Structure 1
Amino acid sequence: MHDKLEAHAAAGFTTYDTADIYGPSEEILGQFQAAHAARDGPPVQIFTKYVPNIYQQRPTPSSVEAAVRRSCAKLQVPCLDLVQMHWWEYQIPGMVDAGLALADLQAKGLIRFVGTTNMDTAALAALVDAGVDVAVNQVQFSLLDRRPLNGMLQYCGPRGIKLFTYGSVGGGLLSDKYAGPPKATGGLFGMGAPKHAPVDLNTSSLKMYWNVVRKFGGQELWRELLGVLSQVAARHGVSVANVALRWVMQQGDGNTVHPIVGLRGTAHLADNARVLSFSLDQADLAAIDAVLAKSTGPTGDCYSFERGN
């Protein structure tokens, strides 16, 4: 894993996102960062999250500080670059107090920047209004899930709050892998009606993104979108995933939205770099918008249906 992380750093991808609930990821990144610094490589940033189990215990200033210090120890740093707070249930009190506790730790030098994750617009505004200097909100945002356009982007842009976005290629559902034409199946000599290969939902994240596809308009509209993305990609000499990422990046003022791309290996490293080599023009956006106009969802604010809203 360290070799893969080092390869990304050498290619200019020097920021990594993790969380205190992602198994041993903080320890792995801490070991990598220490070894990377010893090699005198380009500076790297590691962003983490604070995800308290609010169903078992309400956070206090001391428990928030203890969690931050645990992340510092695992990442082997005296100060965390960014801590993004997640709050599972808004009906459970204490969210603003926990945000203010993070702000206090920022003032003490334990945190450089405070952020949030999966906050809807009202929750984010409550934290900002209380005096928490929120730098970023991490949310799901893609061509399939455009809920950040329902108020979040409009709130964040003028205030200089960045949006880090996950799911921007839908776990691979918005990629060349699924963009090919249907193949003939069944019948004599395989001459039956053309069909696409079934989607193998072999991970929990793919199942989550497939649920988004269903809310977007179902498999046929998803396939129609892939067809248009393929045409746009061909015009620019890039991949379908490049186009999907570029669309997200160009929303708002073009400087607010920053997608996070999954890192399992180095196979997509060069392809990911191509996202920075082109822009979608008005003809590209119009072709994509024609498909998006047929979409039925998801509706509501960020992380709305996941919270049961």
Structure 2
Amino acid sequence: MAEAQVAGVELSSGQVLPPVTYGTWKLDDAAAEVAVREAIDEGYRAVDTGQRYHNEAGVGAGVRAASVPRDRVLVTTKLRGGDQEREQSKRSFKASLRNLGLDYVDLYLIHWPLPRLDKYVECWQSMRELRDEGLIRTLGVSNFTAEYIDRLVAETGEAPAVNQVELHVGFQQAELRRQMAERGVVVQSWGSIGRGKGLLEDHRLQQISAAHGVTPAQVALRWIWEQGVPCIAKSGNPRRRHENLSIHDFHLTEEDLALIASFEQERVGKDPEVAEEF
């Protein structure tokens, strides 16, 4: 498949986040190696993993085995909650780098804020030092509220380039998107098609997809992109991977957008204010 020509979103670091990143949550090392290599060869130019996914070795092997040069693939991984401490977070990152078998990580995120631990600021400081060593290109967070990001800025003088959050047609996060835009933080969506919780079976989404001759998943991802938000989408199926990447040949109408606005606002994943992820 030819490389997609649709421009992504430029981050404060100067890197560009493509419209669709290939997600690897729940893939083991063996499956991740194959799927990541195939996804890159099919046209994906960004791959997302995390230490908590226990598949960094497979993801890194897939990146290295792909036919696309390493510097044209944006690789994201994340600091797990159990390693949230200033020096331990550095050790954890270097373990991720070894697992991936790469010289650097393009985008490194604090996976969850874990406010009860109150360690995310010191981890952010450690990540800045790792970036100064040339080991990380861009710093970001995941599942952060505006309040937590404001604290990072107040105590370190730097906002994250990216905030990766649950966002989909069933949980549209309009207020958080507004808050992040005000702070110059790019929102990236996870759970983009509802994580198998029935969102794609919604009759309204199916009605829109039938009108455009596309799949419900493509409508869901297209809606996210039309909000200016790059997304993460995962599938081990080559046909679905192709469909998830192919969301630029149609546009949603005003009627489509009005119908999507009527979707219920419910989380599928955990609430970052109370989530415990170790």
TM class by shorter chain equals 0.7 to 0.9
Query: For the Cα contact (< 8 Å) 2:171–2:266, is it kept in 1?
Result: yes
2:67 is the alignment partner of 1:43:
no
Mapped to 1, the partners of 2:41 and 2:194 lie a distance apart of: 26
SS of the residue 1:125 aligns to: helix
Query: For the Cα contact (< 8 Å) 1:139–1:303, is it kept in 2?
Result: no
Mapped to 2, the partners of 1:123 and 1:41 lie a distance apart of: 33
Aligned partner of 2:221 among 234, 239, 245: 245
- Aligned partner of 2:238 in structure 1 is 266
Distance 1:281 1:102, change over 3 A: same
Identity score, percent:
26
Mapped to 1, the partners of 2:226 and 2:195 lie a distance apart of: 20
CA displacement 1:92-128 (0-9 Å, x = unmatched): 2322111111112112211111111111111122113
- Aligned partner of 1:12 in structure 2 is 43
CA displacement 1:14-34 (0-9 Å, x = unmatched): 2110011111x1111122222
TM score, norm. by length of structure 2: 0.78
Q: Please tell me the residue identity of whatever aligns with 2:207.
A: Q
- Aligned partner of 1:303 in structure 2 is 272
2:122 is the alignment partner of 1:97:
yes
Greater RCO (Cα-Cα under 8 Å, separation 6 or more): 2
Q: Please tell me the residue identity of whatever aligns with 1:19.
A: G
Larger Rg: 1
Mapped to 1, the partners of 2:37 and 2:120 lie a distance apart of: 36
Mapped to 1, the partners of 2:233 and 2:141 lie a distance apart of: 18
Question: What is the deviation of 1:88?
Answer: 4.8
2:261 is the alignment partner of 1:285:
no
Mapped to 2, the partners of 1:22 and 1:48 lie a distance apart of: 9
Q: Please tell me the residue identity of whatever aligns with 1:32.
A: G
- Aligned partner of 2:94 in structure 1 is 69
Mapped to 1, the partners of 2:42 and 2:76 lie a distance apart of: 19
Question: What is the deviation of 1:41?
Answer: 7.9
Query: For the Cα contact (< 8 Å) 1:19–1:49, is it kept in 2?
Result: yes
CA displacement 1:5-48 (0-9 Å, x = unmatched): 2221122112110011111x1111122222236x7588322100
Unaligned runs of at least 5 residues, structure 1: 179-225
Distance 1:261 1:53, change over 3 A: same
SS of the residue 2:131 aligns to: helix
Unaligned runs of at least 5 residues, structure 2: 1-30
- Aligned partner of 1:29 in structure 2 is 59
SS of the residue 1:139 aligns to: strand
Superposition RMSD on alpha carbons, in Å? 2.4
TM score, norm. by length of structure 1: 0.70
Question: What is the deviation of 1:141?
Answer: 0.6
2:157 is the alignment partner of 1:131:
yes
Query: For the Cα contact (< 8 Å) 2:49–2:56, is it kept in 1?
Result: yes
CA displacement 1:152-200 (0-9 Å, x = unmatched): 211222443221211121123232xx3xxxxxxxxxxxxxxxxxxxxxx
| Pairs aligned (count) | 241
Q: Please tell me the residue identity of whatever aligns with 1:96.
A: V
